[in-house]
Amino acid sequence: MSSFYRSALGKKASAEKGAPGQDDGARAACDDPPPAYTAAPEPGPSSGATTHGRDGGVGGGGDDDPFAFLCNFDTVFLIDDSGSMAEPSFPGSQKSRWTEVADVLRAVVPVCTARDADGIDIYFLNHQKPGRALPPSARAPGGYYGIRDPKQVTDLFRKVRGPWGCTPTGERLDAILGSYMRVFESQRTAGGLVKPLNVIVITDGCPTDDPTGVLANVARRLTDLGAPMSQLGVQFFQVGCDARARAALQSLDNCLADQPAAGYRDIVDASSWSHTGKQTLTADDVLKVVLGAVVKRLDWTPMSGAK
């Protein structure tokens, strides 16, 4: 285990997860509204940082940097652009969920770019980038790759038609994870390496298709291949206060953790911020939960009889 992961074990961050307890009918108001996604100033890339491509990392953070783990991963965001994202995150909010997600992405970009010159990739549930240009290796088509500047996020959210449509979370995850797994399986067989991947899904509603089968299939393939525990992870963040959505994400969080004997390594985490007592959610909050998920995967051990 690297020195970073040894230090990370002492820095694990946890997020309080909501539980269903509200009327499952209409979208209910929260007793304690979740925080707005608010941009927080973050340091930009160090001029002396050492950077590498998609198969390398970024130096310059050191063991004291809580987000040094970002240099070891490619970071992909999957953003809900369904119609309900036009609603306020909670009663009285002056911003829509859509605008607040754009704010947090603008704050995340410099944090990631300071540690990985590749930047981040952004996909949407409904919108797909027009054109037939081939995506980078291990990436699904229809995304926006190598976002390195907050202004690119602003321009992107102005360009995308949204919010509109339904919530095809399973379909989009199947495309994103499927493209990655095809390259990973090929390289694994040939003795090559593929940079680990973190997929961060920000959504406000229940999926209109079920992603459980997609996630279970990927988890089992990773186990069968003997992949490192940190090779791939999916983190769901709920924006808004829909009780059914919170219950659905909680179910996704538990779907693999409850079946370790079947070889389903736990690659999924879900976080709801409606009962944290915080007033804002920043890029720092998001990335700390991602760090906690990485550390949790490193600690995962299959039950007897599983691969």
7-21, 99-113, 160-174 — which is least confidently predicted? 7-21
Looking up tokens 């979208």 gives 27
* Mean pLDDT score, 202-206: 88
Residue 134 forms part of a structural domain = yes
* Mean pLDDT score, 46-57: 35
Which amino acid is it at 259?
Q
Of 123, 153, 125, 154, nearest to 139 by C-alpha is 123
Question: How many structural domains are present in the chain?
Answer: 1
What is the CATH classification number for the domain harbouring 211? 3.40.50.410
Residue 17 forms part of a structural domain = no
- State the average pLDDT for the chain: 76
Residue 11 forms part of a structural domain = no
In degrees to the nearest 10, what's the CA dihedral of 188, 58, 233, 142?
Answer: -90
Looking up tokens 């947090």 gives 104
Residue 98 forms part of a structural domain = yes
3-state secondary structure of 233: strand
Of 245, 275, 238, 237, nearest to 31 by C-alpha is 275
What pLDDT was estimated at residue 61?
53
| 79 membership: H or E segment, kind and range | strand 74-79
Whether omega before 163 lies within 30 degrees of 0, making that bond cis, reads yes
Task: Tell me the pTM.
Answer: 0.77
Q: What are phi and psi of 104, to 5 degrees?
A: -70, -35
What pLDDT was estimated at residue 171?
97
What pLDDT was estimated at residue 5?
37
3-state secondary structure of 132: coil
* Mean pLDDT score, 193-207: 92
Range of the domain at 114: 29-44+52-299
Residue 21 forms part of a structural domain = no
Sign of the dihedral defined by the CA atoms of residues 202, 204, 210, 213, in that order: positive
Q: How far apart are CA 188 and CA 227, in angstroms?
A: 8
Residue 9 forms part of a structural domain = no
14-28, 151-165, 266-280 — which is least confidently predicted? 14-28
Q: How far apart are CA 279 and CA 151, in angstroms?
A: 25
What pLDDT was estimated at residue 73?
92
Residue 6 forms part of a structural domain = no
* Mean pLDDT score, 121-129: 96
Q: Which residues pair with 234 in a beta bridge?
A: 199, 268
The answer, yes or no, to whether residue 53 has pLDDT greater than 70, is no
What pLDDT was estimated at residue 239?
85
What pLDDT was estimated at residue 16?
34
Q: Which long-range contacts (CB under 8 A, 24 or more apart) does 61-69 make?
A: 61/114, 61/115, 63/3, 63/4, 63/7, 65/115, 66/8, 66/11, 66/288, 66/291, 67/111, 67/115, 67/287, 67/291, 68/4, 68/115, 69/4, 69/5, 69/8, 69/291, 69/294
DSSP codes joined into one string, 210-229: --HHHHHHHHHHHHHTT--T
| Residue 56: CB atoms within 10 Å | 15
Residue 165 forms part of a structural domain = yes
